[in-house]
């Protein structure tokens, strides 16, 4: 008996349909989400994606991938699956969790997108959450003693702020003054974007609970400090090293928040009448010395560019995660981009709005997609971030609104 003939397979274009996020909060007992569960933040994001895209039947979602760096408590229990059930998706929709530290949501996107391109899925939800108030980075972990005893990495590699100080040491021209100036610009750009309505449409209002104050609604980001001045930044302490460079002002804070996005095969998006915010071009993940993890986006971007046949000159918009100002400056210097280049984080970045670890990748993508809609002169954009334990992550996207397609 002959075997049935195997169906020929070709890769499909993958598109970013829509992205949303909760307002980001400050971690800790005074933060807006101090008494709100992490999984409830994810549920709110999933429900909002479905509400904003009514042309998508819930049973057409083939996968839910949700990232969290600290997978414990209300960030554990196979979060993608539990959040899908809690959000009211059909029981037939599977889900799973991802951990690549800060690049968790970015990895959720690239992993599910690869499944769509391969033909395993048509539609997926990808995102991330981090409730750093409930679950500080490293809670419950038990690092193998060999890591330190056999000197596989320097002990500073386990403290992200120390790795940023190491980056200042490696590149002494990346001064504290440059880092502070970049941080100030991030705050100013975010404040302008907020005032001009650029920040806000992607936000999902979240009901919050406080035993002391009762119920409330989170509608705006908590971390931004629009009153920041260069003089004020210069007076801040350097907690990771006496007379160091890294401060609470030129680094992202400790934050709570969730993000999510809809991904689909382009032909399926057209079939269902879904919007196409941007097309996936390619991506790259690399490892670097954990002691200087902030340099990671440099080789990951080089890899992504090489694999896609593009150059840095082809990139018209950059959304770079500002875990630390020095990390972004190292990227810009390597590629010959000015600190104040208008293509870079035009609406501000994580120094202003916050960095709830595993969720941040989709925030970068959502902002890039919305910028594409306003910039038909730009064909390609890039989202990139450094990743704890010495990694870099880069995803390149194409603007479907590019004016060159019309010629």
Q: Where are the domains of the chain?
A: 14-135+152-396
The two three-digit tokens of residue 13, written as one number: 């274009």
Share of the chain above pLDDT 70, in %: 99
Confidence of residue 1 (pLDDT cuts 50, 70, 90): low
- Long-range CB contacts (within 8 A, 24+) of 50-56: 50/87, 52/18, 52/20, 53/17, 53/18, 53/262, 53/274, 53/275, 55/272, 55/273, 55/274, 56/123, 56/262, 56/272, 56/274
- Between CA 128 and CA 106 the distance in angstroms is 8
Residue 68 CA to residue 80 CA, distance in Å, equals 10
Query: What gap in Å lies between CA 316 and CA 332, rounded to an integer?
Result: 14
pLDDT reading at 2 higher than 80: no
Residue 7 has pLDDT above 80, yes or no: no
Q: What is the pLDDT of residues 21-59, one digit of tens each?
A: 999 999 999 999 999 999 999 999 999 999 999 999 999
pLDDT in tens, 201-233: 999 999 998 888 889 999 999 999 999 999 999
Top-level class of domain 14-135+152-396 = alpha beta
pLDDT at 407: 55
Is 355 annotated in the active site? yes
The answer to whether residue 261 is catalytic is no
- CA of residue 43 relative to chain centroid, distance: 18
Which of the four pLDDT bands, split at 50, 70 and 90, describes residue 243?
very high
The one catalytic residue among 102, 131, 135, 245: 102
Is residue 84's pLDDT more than 90?
Answer: yes
**Counting Cβ atoms within 10 Å, is residue 171 exposed (0-12), middle (13-18) or buried (19+)?**
middle
């Amino acid at each position: 008996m002959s075997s049935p003939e195997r169906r020929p397979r070709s890769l499909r274009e993958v598109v970013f349909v829509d992205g949303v996020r909760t307002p980001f909060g400050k971690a800790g007992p005074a933060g807006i989400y101090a008494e709100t569960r992490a999984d409830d933040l994810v549920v709110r994001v999933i429900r909002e994606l479905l509400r904003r895209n009514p042309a998508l039947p819930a049973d057409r979602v083939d996968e839910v991938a949700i990232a969290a760096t600290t997978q414990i408590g209300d960030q554990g229990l196979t979060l993608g699956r539990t959040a899908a059930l809690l959000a009211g998706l059909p029981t037939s929709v599977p889900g799973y969790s991802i951990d690549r530290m800060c690049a968790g949501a970015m990895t959720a996107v690239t992993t599910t997108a690869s499944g769509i391109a391969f033909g395993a899925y048509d539609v997926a939800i990808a995102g991330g959450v981090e409730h750093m108030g409930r679950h500080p980075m490293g809670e419950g972990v038990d690092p193998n003693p060999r890591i330190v005893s056999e000197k596989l990495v320097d002990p500073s590699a386990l403290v992200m702020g120390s790795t940023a100080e190491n980056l200042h040491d490696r590149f002494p021209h990346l001064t504290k003054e440059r880092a502070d100036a970049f941080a100030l610009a991030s705050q100013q750009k975010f404040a302008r974007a907020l005032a001009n309505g650029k920040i806000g449409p992607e936000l999902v209002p979240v009901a919050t609970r406080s035993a002391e104050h009762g119920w409330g609604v989170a509608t705006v980001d908590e971390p931004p400090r629009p009153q920041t001045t260069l003089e004020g930044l210069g007076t801040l302490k350097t907690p990771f090293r006496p007379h160091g460079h890294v401060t609470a002002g030129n680094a992202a804070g400790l934050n709570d928040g969730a993000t999510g996005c809809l991904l689909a095969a382009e032909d399926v998006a057209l079939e269902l009448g879904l919007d196409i915010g941007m097309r996936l071009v390619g991506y790259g993940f690399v490892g670097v010395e954990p002691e200087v993890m902030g340099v990671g986006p440099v080789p990951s971007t080089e890899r992504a560019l090489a694999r896609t046949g593009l150059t840095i000159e082809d990139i018209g918009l950059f959304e770079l995660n500002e875990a630390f100002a020095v990390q972004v400056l190292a990227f810009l210097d390597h590629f010959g981009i000015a600190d104040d280049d208008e293509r870079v984080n035009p609406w501000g970045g994580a120094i202003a709005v916050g960095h709830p670890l595993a969720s941040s990748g989709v925030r970068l993508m959502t902002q890039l997609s919305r910028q594409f809609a306003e910039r038909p002169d730009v064909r390609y954009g890039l989202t990139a971030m450094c990743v704890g334990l010495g990694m870099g992550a880069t995803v390149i996207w194409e603007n479907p609104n590019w004016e060159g397609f019309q010629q």
